[in-house]
Structures are given as C-alpha cells and as structure tokens.
Amino acid sequence: MGLSVLINSVLRRYADLVGKKRSGKKRNSSSKKGRQSERRSQSSKQAAAARSGGGRVVITHSTYLPGLIAVLEKLAKFPKIQTITPAVISRVRSNAPKFRLRVSVPITGGYKLIARERKSAQEVFVITELSQQDLENAIAQILS
C-alpha cells in the first residue's frame, strides 16, 4: 500500500509540473490543423523542388570537411538530384592536398560519393536518377 501511495504522489507532482509549463492552456484543434497543413505545404514544396531540378542537402552532423557543404549545395541544384546526405568522416593514411569528390559505388536509388581533403575522407550519399557518368560530369563541372 505504501508503494502505490508514493507512485501516485510522484505522478501528481509530475502532472502539476507539466501543467505549469503549459500554463493551463489547452491546445485547440485549429492550431493543430494549421501546423499539419504547414507541414504538408513544406513537404510538397520540397517535392516540387526535387521535380523542378532542385534537390536538398541533409544537414545531420556538426562536422563536415571544409568546403563540402558549399559544393553539395551546388550539386543539389542539378536536375534529377533529390537528396544529398553527408555521412561518416574518417581518417585515412594517404594525403589528398586538394579537395576531391568522386563517385564510389552505386547504392539503391543513387550513388555513394567519397569526399577527400588532406588526411580526411567523408562519405556522401546521393539519391538521383542520373547515370554515373552524368553525375561524374556534374561533379567535374562544379569542381572546375
């Protein structure tokens, strides 16, 4: 009996704290509907951008190779590129004095790229309808 009283007491205190944070206001359904329609319009804008030739760069990490994001944003503007996602950074033995970006292997729906600079390498995943040769040409055009 003592344990259930303690649990109920803790639950009541938690409910009081949560109630203070919300300051007693109830969410009304119109604001919820507004947020849902806002999300829908954002996703439809992204889909329209992908169809019109503009892809998106997914920012997921706090660390990137220097200059990588600027190059990826230029690449995302090419037609038929939907999503570009930078991934794992690793340390490598060989030195690449200048920034390089090359196509590594095909993946489902796109390609894996390797970005290199100095002693670091970063994987980049590109979801695209472009062929490997077209993607390599787009990268060469950006880097030149």
pLDDT tens per residue across span 32-84: 555 555 555 444 444 544 445 578 998 876 789 898 999 999 999 998 999 99
In a domain, 131, yes or no: yes
Domain that holds residue 70: 53-143
Decide if 24 is inside a domain. no
Q: How far is CA 139 from the centre of its chain?
A: 20
Model confidence at 10, pLDDT cuts 50, 70, 90, reads confident
**Structure tokens given for 81:** 């590129």
Q: What percent of the chain is modeled with pLDDT above 90?
A: 47
Within a domain: 121: yes
- Angle (deg, nearest 10), helices 132-143 and 68-76: 130
